[in-house]
Structure 1
Amino acid sequence: MVAFDQNSGEKDDDARELPETLPWDVRPSIYDHLCLHIVSGQPGLVEAGYQLPDEERVNEDLELRWAAGALDGVMTHHTGGSDSDERVEKTIWLLLTCCEEPTAINKYRLYQHIVEEHIVALIDAVITRLLNEPQLKHDRLYELAYSFATETTDRETVKFGIALLGLYQVEENSELFHILGRHDEFTLFCAVALTNVADDSEQALWGLAQNVFGWGRIHIVERLAETENEEIRDWLLREGFRNSVLTEYLAYICAHTGGLLPALHNSTQDRELLTSAGELIEALINGGPAEDMDDYDDGAAAVELYLQQIEEAHVTLDDFLHIRAIQLYLSNQEADWDVRSERGWSRECRQRLEAACKRILERPEWETRVRQGLESEDDYEFFQANQAARVLKLPTWDYHWDRLQEQPDDAGRWFHLLLVCEEPQLTQVLDFAEQQLDLDRIASGPGDAPGVGDDFKQHGCLDYILQELRRFPGQGKTLIEAGLKSPVIRNRKMAVAALATWGDTSQRCELLKQVVEIEPDGHLQQQMQKLIDGQPLEE
């Protein structure tokens, strides 16, 4: 292969354009970084591995950060590809120039261009063009791709390198793709590359899928939707649908390809299967970004078998909530049951299923199980018990109050407490809030702070308090006043919304006149002025 010449063909102005240290000479590269955070025998990466070397640059001007792979995931699932032929043409021109004259300056110009792009939007068009370039110097393209994939510290150039390497059926690169693909930011590109280069692409994809848990898993499982491998299908059914983004993305694929209905037919008290079946059924009922229960031909039959088996099983609070989701689905009077009946949801079937749900949910044991969960120190167990308590209409105030005392900086605990707070407890809650929150620090002056991170924990707590103060007109003046002067616009919006419910317009005007002139957000300033003028706010 031809090495990239640092000097050949460069003019003086080209040399001045080059940085003192070229980006592919910076260490550690992303590839090196990931290698350092893989532990043999453990899935994925150790925690520090998910923080990529270019994190600060990528997120420098963002108020909210994208999760790993999320931007590419949204672009591939919810938007089209690139609509800019000009961007594709520029990429091709820089790439061909780099292959024709492999100088440092040409490589650097291509590098800078790639860093500024979202490669996922361009790569298909770029590769299509490359495949139709008869004079393409493949040895130089391969060398460039390998360098970008293994030697660079910017995620977009790594993705570009992976995509180009995937054009070449070099089996030895499979290990490289398995390493880079452990990070959700790169899994999509590695999955496509593995499909092209691995001897057994399904096994390769399955192996990688077990090492990613976010958008990466979504991308891979979607590519396993047609598998006939029984081992992979069983994994899809029992584990493959679980991801940190949204189960609903994969529920249909895993229920359909995994064979949920035949699995339930052939099982007897398979606790693991019943757990996954409940999760899949609830996700299909929820619907959302992918196919749902209305697309699943086996839905009614699968739900009936599930309920038959769960009636005989040792049930959990998770089961309770899955069955409650089924019950709500069946009782939805606005659904088009005539259309659904074509998939087995007949009136008689629904009546049988509703009766089964009722029998299970009305068991006397649930109250004790829920109270045990509410006393748990495990956040997940408490959350599930809290959800079940709402269904059973059990009082939970004391549990939420005790938990808030333990962690008064936890915004989530304020949220749950305020949801169950009524007039008799309000004074107690507001007094505690004024004691625990540094209101002077919160009221540092209106601005455009994002309100995320450790510095804004208390602002998050105040958010939920102000949100619920709309139910209690005239209450919480001190907290509302702090919210109006917060640098976080959510606090200020919630404070204004709370004031909109006040009947005492004189007190409301007094508070708003202190801040209306310094409010930096034009729309919110208009809302403040409307309230001062005695006008109602739009819903």
Structure 2
Amino acid sequence: MGFIEDFKQHILRNVMKDIEKEFQKTWSIDYKGHVIEIHHALKEEQLILDGQIVDRKQKNLMFYLKLKPYSTLSGTLDVGDGVKQKVKVRFGGLIRFKCVVKVGRAVVWKESIKLDFLPWNHKEMLVPFIEQQVQIHHRVMDDALPDDEYVYSDHHPRVAAGYADRHLDDVPTPFFSRKLLNRFAKQLHHPTIKTRKATYEDIIFDRFASYGGEFIERLEKANLDEALMQQEAVWLLEHAAHREVVKFAVMVLGHTNCEPFKERLCAIGMHEEFTEYVISALLRGTREPNPLIWKLAQSVQGWGKIEAVVQLEAATPEIKRWLLTKGCESTVQHGYLAYTCAVKGELASALMQETISKELYDGTGRIIEKILQEGDPDLVDYLLEHAILYRFVSHAAVHCNNEEDYHALMQLARYLADEEAWEESLEDVWKQEERRLIQQKLQPLIDESRWQLSPT
């Protein structure tokens, strides 16, 4: 299936889900001590009397929508003393959904509901869903979101939260950003259900994350009223049942004074689908974003943590120590994260001490392992040029007490012995000498290992 057909199928699938939810209705009516239940779905209807299904109809969707938007169910209700009464239910409609219940000839209940097909209706709102987890656990325990069914399918398998937006095709889409800005401007001046729906639908249809940067550039030049922007961003945030709408609202909120909302933004940012957007908003819209960014960095473990560490200022010894000991603990193998932690945490200086803590030794081992796994020569050069590898091995004699402590040493030994990895620096005398000195320092530790680990 080509991209266009795949995209059409994805949109159609989500539209049908919305239609099904809009038509999903259940009523329970008490009639003289008896219970009349009506279950209506797009493809099936049921009439239940006192707990027993007495009538059921299955429907062809297109037949219903085009030719016969009304249907009837009926059954017999035993009201006691040998008396039985006929129950008849008629319901349907495309603009207004009507349901009329008759017992005998008397209408005992009726309701008329306007079918709005609002994209946020009949769905769980994302922000309260996240806030509830944070309130209970002080972090997000599960990166699943209520709108997963609209995002993932057999053709769009689930990925880690925050991954997809970091790997988007960077294709200019000026039409989308211009169109959305016009929609949003109308919403600001006339904040009605109609204008909000129009903005909301544009956000989710065109996948806002793919052109969010372009939109923000246009927003900055549009000179829109800040108070109205904030008002409507908050409205969208509180009604968002789709992740793209949360991203849009957070980014817009960040272009206002969002000091009053910073704690709420921080809670949203604990879900890694939104960490990057929240940090951007905090940096732009709050006076002192760094404490909140650090809080986020300590609360996330995947792609969101990478963004948090990159944006975090190592302004205190406590933050520097955290970067070196906990900063690169992540569910994502990412050498650049380890490098960033080492540079911001001033790892080279920390290892110059005559003795270091076991916690710092373990953290240094994780940093070295991830940089070596990345295999980027520039990152490895950083370790060599700042004597980090040599000093780490020097501290190993004190801190290697079990098999796990030797993992980083063994990976380092394998890297030092890998001629292919050193091929480009064979004529670099200084690097080769540093390599030899580290190997010389490392070999006795490997030879004396009680676990007889092999560097190969």
Common fold: TM-score over 0.5: yes
* Cα separation, partners in 2 of 1:291 and 1:44, compared to 1, 3 Å: farther
What is the correspondence of 1:241-320 to structure 2 with a 5 Å cutoff?
241-266=328-353, 268-287=355-374, 292-294=379-381, 296=382, 299=385, 301-320=387-406
Please state if 1:357 is matched with 2:442: yes
User: Does structure 1 retain, via aligned residues, the 8 Å contact 2:162–2:304?
Assistant: yes
Identify the residue that residue 276 of structure 2 maps to in structure 1.
188
* Cα separation, partners in 2 of 1:125 and 1:56, compared to 1, 3 Å: same
In 2: Cα distance, 1:361 partner to 1:158 partner: 52
Deviation at 1:28, TM superposition (A): 3.6
- Find the partner of 2:252 among 121, 140, 164: 164
Deviation at 1:267, TM superposition (A): 5.3
SS at 2:352 equivalent: helix
In 1: Cα distance, 2:378 partner to 2:289 partner: 25
* Cα separation, partners in 2 of 1:216 and 1:392, compared to 1, 3 Å: closer
Query: RMSD of the alignment, in Å?
Result: 2.6
SS at 1:148 equivalent: helix
Deviation at 1:392, TM superposition (A): 7.2
What is the correspondence of 1:70-85 to structure 2 with a 5 Å cutoff?
70-75=163-168, 79-80=169-170, 82-85=171-174
SS at 2:398 equivalent: coil
Q: Is the strand fraction higher in 1 or 2? A: 2
Please state if 1:45 is matched with 2:119: no
SS at 1:265 equivalent: coil
In 1: Cα distance, 2:274 partner to 2:393 partner: 40
* Cα separation, partners in 2 of 1:164 and 1:364, compared to 1, 3 Å: closer
Letter of the 1:318 counterpart: E
Deviation at 1:198, TM superposition (A): 2.8
In 1: Cα distance, 2:154 partner to 2:245 partner: 20
User: Does structure 2 retain, via aligned residues, the 8 Å contact 1:44–1:211?
Assistant: yes
User: Does structure 2 retain, via aligned residues, the 8 Å contact 1:39–1:45?
Assistant: no
* Cα separation, partners in 2 of 1:317 and 1:19, compared to 1, 3 Å: farther
Instruction: Give a deviation string over 1:57-95, Cα, whole Å, max 9, x none.
Output: 1113435211111101223xxx53x41212222222222
Please state if 1:29 is matched with 2:106: no
Deviation at 1:159, TM superposition (A): 0.6
Identify the residue that residue 237 of structure 1 maps to in structure 2.
324
User: Does structure 2 retain, via aligned residues, the 8 Å contact 1:198–1:204?
Assistant: no
TM-score, normalised via structure 1 length: 0.59
How many percent identity over aligned positions? 25
Deviation at 1:358, TM superposition (A): 2.0
User: Does structure 1 retain, via aligned residues, the 8 Å contact 2:282–2:289?
Assistant: yes
In 2: Cα distance, 1:289 partner to 1:93 partner: 45
Letter of the 1:141 counterpart: M
Identify the residue that residue 407 of structure 2 maps to in structure 1.
321
Q: Point out where structure 2 has 5 or more consecutive residues left out of the alignment.
A: 1-94, 97-113
Letter of the 1:146 counterpart: V
What is the correspondence of 1:124-523 to structure 2 with a 5 Å cutoff?
124-134=213-223, 136-224=224-312, 227-266=314-353, 268-287=355-374, 292-294=379-381, 296=382, 299=385, 301-334=387-420, 335-336=422-423, 338=425, 341=428, 345-347=431-433, 349-367=434-452, 391=454
* Cα separation, partners in 2 of 1:164 and 1:26, compared to 1, 3 Å: farther
Deviation at 1:38, TM superposition (A): 2.1
User: Does structure 2 retain, via aligned residues, the 8 Å contact 1:92–1:126?
Assistant: yes
In 2: Cα distance, 1:310 partner to 1:206 partner: 30
Instruction: Give a deviation string over 1:309-357, Cα, whole Å, max 9, x none.
Output: 1022233323322112211222232324648958x5242x322211232
In 2: Cα distance, 1:189 partner to 1:360 partner: 46
Please state if 1:64 is matched with 2:64: no
* Cα separation, partners in 2 of 1:257 and 1:138, compared to 1, 3 Å: closer
In 1: Cα distance, 2:354 partner to 2:306 partner: 27
* Cα separation, partners in 2 of 1:109 and 1:255, compared to 1, 3 Å: same
- Find the partner of 1:110 among 182, 194, 199: 199
Deviation at 1:258, TM superposition (A): 0.8
TM-score, normalised via structure 2 length: 0.69
Identify the residue that residue 65 of structure 2 maps to in structure 1.
none
Instruction: Give a deviation string over 1:454-500, Cα, whole Å, max 9, x none.
Output: xxxxxxxxxxxxxxxxxxxxxxxxxxxxxxxxxxxxxxxxxxxxxxx
Q: Point out where structure 1 has 5 or more consecutive residues left out of the alignment.
A: 1-14, 368-387, 394-539
Deviation at 1:256, TM superposition (A): 1.1
What is the count of residue pairs matched by the alignment?
344
SS at 2:167 equivalent: helix
Identify the residue that residue 10 of structure 1 maps to in structure 2.
none
Deviation at 1:21, TM superposition (A): 5.3
Deviation at 1:118, TM superposition (A): 3.2
